[in-house]
A and B are shown apart, each in its own frame.
Chain A
C-alpha cells in the first residue's frame, strides 16, 4: 500500500515547484560561498591551515538556515496540495489507512530533504575541487556536513508536517516556519534543547553526533505523535 501511495504522491507534486526548491536550496548555499570565495579567496585561505575544513565550516554556516526554511516551505506546499480543494476527504475515502497516508507524505518530504543533502554534497565537493583546496579531500567530513544537518532537522520536519496537515489555515504552519528560521538564525544563543538549534550541529559538548541522534530520536517521536493525531481527527 505504501508503494502505491508514494507513487501517487510523487505524481501529485508535479508542477508544484517542490523539485525546483529541492534543487534551489543546495545551489543557494554553495552559491553564497562562491560569492564569498570569489571576492576574497586569498584572505579566506589565510584564515586557517585546514583549507577544506574552513571551507566546509563556511558552507555549513548557511546550511541550517536553508534546511529550516526549505522544510517549512516544502511541508506547506505538500499539505496545500490536499488542502486546496480539501482533497483529504477524497484521499481518505479510498481504501487506505490514515496512518499510511501520513507516512507517505512524510516519506516523500524526507526523500526530498535527503536528495537536497546529496546535491549539497556534490555541489560542495565540486566547488571545493574547483577552488583547488588541496589534497587529501576530507570525504568523511564532507558527508557529515551534508547529511548531519538534515538528520538533526527531522524533528522540525515532523513538527511542520503535523501542523501543516491538521491546520486548514496555512498561515499557522507558515508562522511556525518563520519563527523556526529566526530560531535557526540565532542558534548561537539558543539553549541546547530547542530543536531549531540542532541542524547547526552545535551543543555544549561539541559533539555533532549528539544532535544527529537526538534529531532522529525526537524526529521519530514527533512523527508518531503527529501521525496518531492525524488519524484520530475527523476529516472535515
Chain B
C-alpha cells in the first residue's frame, strides 16, 4: 500500500526526527484518507512500490512522481492536482505510475517507507521536488521533468502535455529501433538518425550503432550525433582539463580553417554549426573589435537559424559588439599602444635570454 503524507511538518532545528515523528501524518494512499483507501479498489496502474511497477511495466515503462511530504507544500498539492488526476492516466498509456516521497528529516518509519517505495530506482537528479521521472521498462531514465520549467503550474496542464510528448517520443524510439533491426546499411542509419532527433535522452550506444550501420558516414549521421560543440572548442584550444587559452594564444587565422569546416558541414545540427561561428565571432571581437568581418560573421551565423539558441542572441550581439572599438577613447588607445610597445620590447629581451639558455639545455 502506497504511503503518502499530506501533513506539512516544519523541520525543527533541534532533534528534528523526534518532532517529525510526532507530526507523522495519517497514512493515505496517493492522497486519499486511510478509511477510503481500504475500501477503494486497488488501481493496477498505480502500484505501491517502484519495484512492483517495474515488474509490471510494459513498453510504456514507469513514470515516477517525486514529492516532499514533510517540507514541500507545493509538491503535496500537485500530488492531488496533477498526479491523482484521471487525465494523467489517460495521457500515459499503459505506463505504471508511482509516487515516491522524499523526506527532509524522516523518522525511522518514514525512512523505511521511503526506502521500500524507491528500492531499485535510479537516483533522482539533485533531489529536486516536484520532479517527474520517466523510465523505460528496464528502469533506465529517458526523460526527466524537474521543477516548474517542465511541469508548469500546479494545475498540471503543462505537465500532461510534456509527459504525453515525451512518452510519444519514447514510443517512437522503440518503433524506430525495431524497424532499424530489420534494415542494413544506410537505410538502417537513416532510421537510427531519426532517433537522434527525438526530444528524449538517446540510447547510449546510438553512435556505435550508427557507426556499424554506416562505417564511412556517408549519411553524415555519425558526425551529426557524435559532434559536441564543447569538445570541438576544447580541441581547438589544445587542452584537456577545461583550462582554455583562447584569450592568450589563439588567433582568428588559426581558428578559421577548422571552424569553417564545421560551419559548412550541413550534416551537423544548426546549433553546432552556429557554436563554431561563436568561436570565430568571439575571436574576431578580441582581435578586431567591431570590424566589418565581425558584423558579417554575426549576420552569417544568424542566417543559419535565426530561431535557435544562438540565433536569438545574434541581433543583440550585432549591437553590442558591432561597435566595440568605439568604447576606447583616443587617450586610452594611445596608452594601450605605448604599453603594447613596451610589452613587445620586454618580450624580445626575454626571448633573447631564453635562446641563450636554450643553447645550453635540452628539454625532453
Verify that A and B bind, or say they do not: no
B interface, CB within 8 angstroms of A = none
A interface, CB within 8 angstroms of B = none
